[in-house]
Structure 1
Amino acid sequence: MKDPKILYEKRAKHYAGRKERLTRTINQLSNVRLITFLAGCGLAGFFYMTHSTSWSFGIMALTIVTFVALVIWHQNLRTRQNYNQVFYEVYDQALKRLGGEWKTFSDAGEDFKDSAHPYSEDLDLFGVGSLFQWINTAKTFGGRNKLKEWLTEPPTNVELIQKKQEAIKELAGNLAWRQRFLAEAQMAKGPIKSPNAIIEWAKTYDKSYLRPGVLISVRALPIVTITFLLLYLMTAKVSYWYPLTGVIIQTIILFTGKKRGKALNEVYTYKESIKIYEKMLERFEKRSFQSDYLKALKLGLYDRDKKPAFKQIKKLSSIAELIANRDNSMFLAINILTLWDIQCMIALESWKERSGRYLTRWLETIGELEALSSLAIIRFDHQDWVIPEIITERPGIDAVSMGHPLLKEAVCNDLSLDRRSGILLITGSNMSGKSTLLRTLGINLVLAYAGAPVCAKVFSCSILQIYTCMRVSDNLGESISSFYAELLRIKQIVSASKTHSNIFFLLDEIFKGTNSQDRHAGAKVLIQQLSKSGAMGMVSTHDLELGSMEHESERRIRNYHFREYYKNNEIHFDYKLRPGISTTRNAMYLIKMAGIDVEENKL
């Protein structure tokens, strides 16, 4: 694959130039349209004043036709201009992501934040500066939710992860198609709402509208009434009672019985979203793919009669267009004469009967494609990152040169955990990198289970259930202190370790809300219990006395540490993980840096 930055810059420049040229053409066309209208009206008026009526009407007709053609041309150019603007923004955003400016992206997934989730808060999956904000390009309701699901509900099926890896790899290599697919959703005028209401609407249909007698009556009555009306207007041989009787009958049919307004308005409300779904499905269905996962998605895009999904969605979009302007005062007469509402209901119920039950699957497919495309960004932008190996023969994690994916200049470290030595005790001074290391492994596991590449040169892992206890705070609304909130999280981890054999935990400075003696005793008992249950994980601590557990556990618990060094009376960190217990401290030095007087012998 080509260098991402060069490709993004080239395409952003290309679409910026196209947009600029279209803007000039549109401005020129606006002037031509105005001149055409004024000139046509002026000439028509001149010939009318000179008693050349035929010329006047001819020029007026020509002016109207020309003006309408120019308006249509103008609208088409506007649409192309909007597309080019969206494409430019897509590539500009890609450049910002690559340059580390992604924290300015508007969608940070704040609505997905959940303090009760086992790990999402501690691993920065949602919110400002989160994994979601970094990679998400999904615009539909289903796409955002699918990406959230993959980040928070890792699959238990290894084969499924491997299939997603292949799909993400293929989509990463199809940049132009992927960006066009995502751009279709960005053409929406506003946020794409949840489709749940229209999905529920599509699941059931009213058979009464599809009865042969109803179909014949609704089709025939307007023809008879309009025929009598035209005959009445064109000849004196037909009494006005004939068309009037037809109008009265149709009015009674239209305004009595079932209430159709709610159903019709519901579909019209989703008109813009339906059109977006149609375009996205068409992009996907007209493209050939090689990966099994993408092929399987395509197989589900047909209705009962094996017609392509995008054509059926297009048909629903056309019906939604026909429902427009129902509240217009002029529409009332058209509605009565043609039984328009009932005609639309017949079309809708017929569509639901044929395709309604498949709508859920079609929209889910769009959501999966958006989520896959978001994850494919990682593969394309970071081609030196590795696609993780998901192992089944043994539980464990092996990582070589692993860094934090959200840090632009991450320091990389090696890690290895298995059932025999499955708990790492990380010590080190303040700000040395202990918490970051825990989050580094946690967020790379999340990416691995989602099918995405991870920030490492080598990475393999088994399927593990992740639990964390890192950021714990008071909950004043529930009258819960931070210490008690921490106990609740730890209880969740302990309970899970008693019932599952694949628990992976990350604990950061546990029991910090109590005295040092109780903290030491509590932490030791907890780590021993988790080790005995077979859980694997990492624990960061300032409590150096816990280092004795490596010998006591016969290296089922292993010690690692970070260190700092001083240069020119300044503190520095290299963030490199080393075996053994920490031998340095910096708290008093940092206190002195804060302006507090500290005796030299205390440093």
Structure 2
Amino acid sequence: MTDSTAISGTNVGNGDDALDRYRTQLQQIEAARSLLKIRDRKFGTARVVLFLLAIVFLFLGTHFGGMPSAWPIGWIALAGFLTTVILNEPVRDQLESLRRERSVVRRLIARIERDWQRLATATLSRQLSEIELPTAQHDVATDLDLLGKASLFHLVSMTATTPGIRTLASWLTGPAIAAEAIPRTRAIETLAPLREERIRFYMLSRKVAESSGDPDRFASWAGGERWLESRRWLSIWANVSAILAGVFFVGVLASVLGISAAGNPKLHLAGLIGLGFINLLMTSIMLGPAHSIFSIAMASRSAVADYAELFDAAHELPVDDANGEMSKLGQIRDTLLTGERSAAEGMRSLQKVASAGSLRQSAATFLVYLPLQAFALWDVRVLHRLEQWQQQYGDVVSNWFEALGQFESLVSLAALRDEYPQWTFPQWKTTSDGGGTLAAVSIGHPLLNDTDRVTNDVSVGPSGTLLLVTGSNMSGKSTMLRSIGLNVALAATGAPVCASEFALPSMELATSIRVSDNLSEGVSFYMAELHRLKQVVDHARRLAQQDDRVLLFLLDEILQGTNSRERQIAVVQVLRHLINLQSIGAISTHDLELADEPDLHSMAHTVHFRETITKGDDGHDTMTFDYKMREGVSPTTNALRLLEMVGL
């Protein structure tokens, strides 16, 4: 990697152009749905009328001999009904496709409008809550709103499948490493202009998420033990059973045809019935695990087909990067499409097995399945083919879903790039060219609405120093800390950040912003803060042993749970630990005595936010904030004034 890698933008922009485009697209979808609904209602009316006509005229033709024309009219009406059903299906398929497209576009609109209620669906919230993170990552995610409701995940995510959701969440909460982020950035740049392709992919991923089984269970089954392998006698009995059934059936058929050498027909019939009874009894008692495997390996025939189609979507990805090396997208494409053990090939192979296994799942084919199971143990044969598939592909299935998760995450982040073309991609620095400093121009809080966002220039570092953010209550100190952390998380994914310039080294985040006591465990607020700070310092100690990254700590109003003088001493002690470990970071406080600590002056660059108080025409004070960061210690406080303004 070179010392400095940048793909930069200009000024921090908004998503108005994309919002207009999405709203126009939504109007077109609604118009198309309205027309299709009219056609669907007409088909529905025709189906009811033709079905009733068929019933009436077939009844008349059967029971009233004086109406010879009723019978053919009834059959014509029935044929018309079946034809109408067939012609109606494409209309309903189009309606379902438009419903899914409308859902995608509505989510794209909600992201730009920061409509958190619409974005935080119950299903997605449940999936996010099930993601397990190490304690430090979980605390950072909570402090910076990376995953929960009204979070960075909801802003950037268009993922729908479990692998996609998990991958994007891990990128957002993981370290910001240049070697990982830069290839993702190049992939995002490639995908950003492909608007129609992205929409189709979002629709398909939602279709897969709605129809398929759990990918984790599928991957676990594929790489696990083969149930039938230790019960080979079942396969042997399935073959013997088919032979016996053939012998008994031929005997019964020969007797029906009057062939004298056929033997005792009752004996053949009894054998056939007895064989069917034994096999169906075995199905009910012994093959429960096999049916569970079917539900995992091929939840339905359509689910396998949907995954095959989703993997095939990688055909539009480029193979190689411009410099001739395999790109991130090329690697994903290689895993999903190339070779005999690619994801696409594996799913096509599994489709053939799913076709055989789906006989028992459909009412239309159950009458075919029943004799096959009764006389030839069809389920055992399907399971044998499944385990042959498992043997061939089992060890690479997890790689397929990992590649799919990366693909879906990159396609999601590409929408952010397309919607905010003036957000910048980060410039990654190494320690040899000032890499110990995070520097941003016009950085903003990405979760705020475009009209509400105020941007500032900020610099954190170099190693061994900190940024001290002072100011009164509600002036913007915590927002600044979160703006830094959220944009570092965006940089980690390879996405553009909410700034006009953003340079940083590879880093990991540690935070203490939202700390709460735990009365059930007897942990006071002050002790909870200490535990969190100990965790931050331990993190810094671990990274001090590595020269490829630094720790960025973000501490908001720490150690409030003790008296003022002891707090000042304790805070300085904690910060000295972090500075000595060559970490960089920012700490906020409204305690002006803390800001005046001589020991803190020697290691801190101090900035502040302020408020303005004006007297209105009614004689009451009005407090306003401009959220602009200025040099030096805050000259104002507002705690008592706020107390007065609320009537206390």
TM-score, length-normalised on structure 1? 0.88
Contact 1:421 1:556 in 2 (8 A): yes
1:488 Cα deviation after fit: 0.4
For residues 37-436 of structure 1, what are the structure 2 equivalents within 5 Å? 37-49=51-63, 51=65, 63-105=77-119, 106=121, 107-108=124-125, 109-112=128-131, 117-154=138-175, 156=177, 158-187=178-207, 194-203=214-223, 204-205=225-226, 206-207=228-229, 225-233=248-256, 235=258, 238=262, 239-249=265-275, 251-252=277-278, 255-256=281-282, 259-268=286-295, 270-271=299-300, 273-285=303-315, 292-301=327-336, 304=340, 308-324=345-361, 332-393=370-431, 394-408=435-449, 409-419=452-462, 422-436=465-479
Describe the superposition over 1:319-355 as per-residue Cα deviations: whole angstroms up to 9, x where unpaired.
4423316997996545213432223223322322333
Separation (CA, whole Å) in 2 of partners of 1:572 and 1:417: 27
**What one-letter code is carried by the residue in structure 1 that aligns with 2:444?**
G
Describe the superposition over 1:42-91 as per-residue Cα deviations: whole angstroms up to 9, x where unpaired.
34344445659998776666555543343333333222211101101211
Q: Which residue does 1:582 correspond to in 2?
A: 634
Separation (CA, whole Å) in 1 of partners of 2:166 and 2:468: 36
**What one-letter code is carried by the residue in structure 1 that aligns with 2:183?**
K
1:511 Cα deviation after fit: 0.9
**What one-letter code is carried by the residue in structure 2 that aligns with 1:129?**
A
Which ranges of structure 1 fall in alignment gaps of 5 or more residues? Answer: 597-603
Separation (CA, whole Å) in 2 of partners of 1:221 and 1:369: 51
**What one-letter code is carried by the residue in structure 2 that aligns with 1:8?**
Y
Distance 1:356 1:469, change over 3 A: same
Contact 2:441 2:499 in 1 (8 A): yes
Contact 1:413 1:576 in 2 (8 A): yes
1:250 Cα deviation after fit: 5.7
Distance 1:279 1:525, change over 3 A: same
Distance 1:247 1:200, change over 3 A: farther
Contact 1:250 1:339 in 2 (8 A): no
Distance 1:561 1:163, change over 3 A: same
Describe the superposition over 1:509-561 as per-residue Cα deviations: whole angstroms up to 9, x where unpaired.
11100000101111112212211221110011123234346x75785421111
Q: Which residue does 1:10 correspond to in 2?
A: 24
Separation (CA, whole Å) in 2 of partners of 1:43 and 1:439: 74
Separation (CA, whole Å) in 1 of partners of 2:254 and 2:28: 60
Moved more, 32-41 or 587-596: 32-41
Separation (CA, whole Å) in 2 of partners of 1:68 and 1:514: 79
Q: Which residue does 1:505 correspond to in 2?
A: 553
Contact 1:218 1:339 in 2 (8 A): yes
1:253 Cα deviation after fit: 5.5
Distance 1:352 1:529, change over 3 A: closer
Moved more, 443-452 or 16-25: 16-25
Separation (CA, whole Å) in 2 of partners of 1:210 and 1:372: 48
Q: 2:527 aligns with which of 484, 503, 524?
A: 484
SS at match of 1:426: strand
**What one-letter code is carried by the residue in structure 1 that aligns with 2:295?**
Y
Contact 2:572 2:599 in 1 (8 A): no
Separation (CA, whole Å) in 1 of partners of 2:275 and 2:67: 43
SS at match of 2:203: helix
Distance 1:233 1:478, change over 3 A: farther
Separation (CA, whole Å) in 1 of partners of 2:463 and 2:217: 52
Q: 1:543 aligns with which of 591, 596, 600?
A: 591
Distance 1:348 1:232, change over 3 A: farther
Which ranges of structure 2 fall in alignment gaps of 5 or more residues? Answer: 1-14, 322-326, 545-549, 616-620
SS at match of 2:523: coil
Q: Which residue does 2:623 correspond to in 1?
A: 571
TM-score, length-normalised on structure 2? 0.83
Separation (CA, whole Å) in 2 of partners of 1:349 and 1:214: 17
Moved more, 298-307 or 79-88: 298-307
Separation (CA, whole Å) in 2 of partners of 1:91 and 1:316: 35
Instruction: Report whether the alignment pairs 1:533 with 2:581.
Output: yes
Q: Which residue does 2:566 correspond to in 1?
A: 518
Contact 2:174 2:508 in 1 (8 A): no
Q: Which residue does 1:496 correspond to in 2?
A: 539
**What one-letter code is carried by the residue in structure 1 that aligns with 2:515?**
V
Distance 1:53 1:357, change over 3 A: farther
Moved more, 280-289 or 340-349: 280-289
Describe the superposition over 1:96-145 as per-residue Cα deviations: whole angstroms up to 9, x where unpaired.
22223234321343445977524111101122221122232222222221
**What one-letter code is carried by the residue in structure 1 that aligns with 2:388?**
S
**What one-letter code is carried by the residue in structure 2 that aligns with 1:578?**
R
Instruction: Report whether the alignment pairs 1:465 with 2:508.
Output: yes
What is the RMSD computed on CA atoms of the aligned residues?
3.3
Separation (CA, whole Å) in 2 of partners of 1:175 and 1:201: 36
SS at match of 1:348: helix
Separation (CA, whole Å) in 2 of partners of 1:325 and 1:544: 73
**What one-letter code is carried by the residue in structure 2 that aligns with 1:138?**
T
SS at match of 2:417: helix
Contact 2:107 2:118 in 1 (8 A): no
Contact 2:439 2:503 in 1 (8 A): yes
Describe the superposition over 1:420-443 as per-residue Cα deviations: whole angstroms up to 9, x where unpaired.
563001111111111110011001
**What one-letter code is carried by the residue in structure 2 that aligns with 1:389?**
Q
Distance 1:49 1:186, change over 3 A: same
1:150 Cα deviation after fit: 1.1
1:210 Cα deviation after fit: 11
1:39 Cα deviation after fit: 2.6
Separation (CA, whole Å) in 2 of partners of 1:216 and 1:294: 47
Distance 1:335 1:283, change over 3 A: same
Calculate percent identity across the aligned residue pairs: 28
SS at match of 1:406: coil
Moved more, 298-307 or 464-473: 298-307
Separation (CA, whole Å) in 1 of partners of 2:372 and 2:156: 50
Distance 1:387 1:506, change over 3 A: same
1:452 Cα deviation after fit: 1.0
Separation (CA, whole Å) in 2 of partners of 1:10 and 1:228: 71
**What one-letter code is carried by the residue in structure 2 that aligns with 1:141?**
T
Distance 1:166 1:515, change over 3 A: same
Separation (CA, whole Å) in 2 of partners of 1:199 and 1:118: 30
Contact 2:51 2:81 in 1 (8 A): yes
Moved more, 386-395 or 330-339: 330-339
Q: Which residue does 2:9 correspond to in 1?
A: none
Moved more, 446-455 or 300-309: 300-309
Q: 1:557 aligns with which of 604, 613, 620?
A: 604
Separation (CA, whole Å) in 1 of partners of 2:293 and 2:26: 38
Describe the superposition over 1:370-399 as per-residue Cα deviations: whole angstroms up to 9, x where unpaired.
222222222122111001122224222111
SS at match of 2:361: coil
SS at match of 1:120: helix
Separation (CA, whole Å) in 2 of partners of 1:19 and 1:299: 38
Q: Which residue does 1:25 correspond to in 2?
A: 39
Instruction: Report whether the alignment pairs 1:451 with 2:477.
Output: no
Moved more, 533-542 or 130-139: 130-139
